[in-house]
Amino acid sequence: MQIVKSIVFRKLTDADFFHINKPAGTETGGGGQSYIDISTSAVTLNNWKEFFHGITPFQRSGRIGWKVPIHSLGTKTPAQEITIAERRDTSVSIREQKLSSRESNRVYAWHPDYTDFPKPTNPSEKEHIYDLRIYIVKLENGEYWAGWLNRSRPEPNWSVNKDLNEIFLKDEGYIKFNGNTLFEEADSEWSFRIAPATATQITDPIVPTTELERKIDDRILFDEDEGETENNPPVIKEVVRKIRIRNTKAVKQLKQLYGNKCQISGEIYTFQKKDGELYSEAHHLIPLGEGGADSAHNIVILSPLLHRMLHNAKVENLDLRNIKDNKLTIKINGKDYTITWHPDHAKIVEQFNQ
């Protein structure tokens, strides 16, 4: 892993997203924007000069620019030469990012044909986007890497310090690091690792115990089971953390198995996402912090409300040995609720409890 020197980031606006995706001729008499602007009030020209130190600049019409080889997270493509140049006194732009232009040179990491980067439902119409952020990282070895996030806050299992947290707090900016942040290019979702040299990353392979568990290859997506309690409020610290790097297949397959419906409330207390799918969350019945297994037999799919209830309310009778006909009635704050397992999922739970 390489040391991160600095990062430039930008939260895309609805207008950015529309203009770099719209087909030619969508708007009469203009609207040919093919760049992504970053304001010089957030990232100064001196910041850019520092960021591209070692890259020979060019001058055009009295404005400075750089042609930079940029690698793309989540792809196996070689580095591509991207033009980034001062456009006016108030902005520096990443050029040639419009998809439909013949001169398009969209950064591969931000290209829906190369990664899962979001694309509009109808490119000819404006739509609202949420928390879509792009970034370019400079490493100590002189390489530049591009990536993106579609998050309003970091996931619980991500390594984040106060510097990296700026990405989620500001719309755009420039961050310099002091050598404590490493970059893992193989992890395109969150490539940053907070470490002095003594920090390590832990990978705990889960060995499936049954053929069914191999079909639901399970490492949990969420780490919320190890969260705060009422008597122990969260304390904000900059820390070096050891994290498990988990496979998300099991959660994805379990959600598909249940159609993203809650195993307790069905479609009640949930909502549809922008893509039309129901939103659901994965929950460890026995929290990881209390020795619970990171395995399909210990995971249920719940609506956000029921998930919070199981974490924070008084829960009784949660004994998987009492499952009958793929159902278990538990009490939450003294009221009966029934968890229902899909037969394929129930077999895994039954085999584990035999």
Name the pLDDT band for 295 (thresholds 50, 70, 90): confident
**pLDDT of 163 over the 80 cut:** yes
Percent of the chain exceeding pLDDT 70 equals 81
pLDDT of res. 289: 62
Task: Kindly report, residue by residue over 3-34, the tens digit of the pLDDT.
Answer: 999 999 999 998 899 988 888 766 555 556 78
**pLDDT of 56 over the 50 cut:** yes
pLDDT of res. 218: 41
Range 51-56 average pLDDT: 96
What's the number of CA atoms in the CB half-sphere (13 Å) around residue 156? 11
Query: Hey, what amino acid is at 337?
Result: Y
pLDDT of res. 141: 94
Q: Are strands 80-88 and 91-94 parallel, antiparallel or unpaired?
A: antiparallel
Task: Kindly report, residue by residue over 135-150, the tens digit of the pLDDT.
Answer: 999 999 999 999 999 9
Range 245-268 average pLDDT: 83
**pLDDT of 119 over the 60 cut:** yes
Task: Kindly report, residue by residue over 216-255, the tens digit of the pLDDT.
Answer: 444 333 334 444 444 555 555 555 544 444 546 778 889 9
pLDDT of res. 51: 97
**pLDDT of 36 over the 90 cut:** yes
Mean predicted lDDT score pLDDT of the chain? 83
**pLDDT of 93 over the 60 cut:** yes
Residues spanned by CATH 2.40.330 within the chain? 2-194
Task: Kindly report, residue by residue over 207-217, the tens digit of the pLDDT.
Answer: 344 555 555 44
**pLDDT of 71 over the 60 cut:** yes
Mean pLDDT lowest for which of 2-11, 52-61, 171-180, 288-297?
A: 288-297
Range 81-96 average pLDDT: 94
Name the pLDDT band for 291 (thresholds 50, 70, 90): low
pLDDT of res. 248: 65
Q: Is the pTM here over 0.95, yes or no? A: no
Tokens of 137: 């990282």
Range 288-307 average pLDDT: 82
Mean pLDDT lowest for which of 132-146, 158-172, 233-247, 282-296?
A: 233-247
Range 64-82 average pLDDT: 96
Q: What is the CATH number of domain 2-194?
A: 2.40.330
**pLDDT of 122 over the 50 cut:** yes
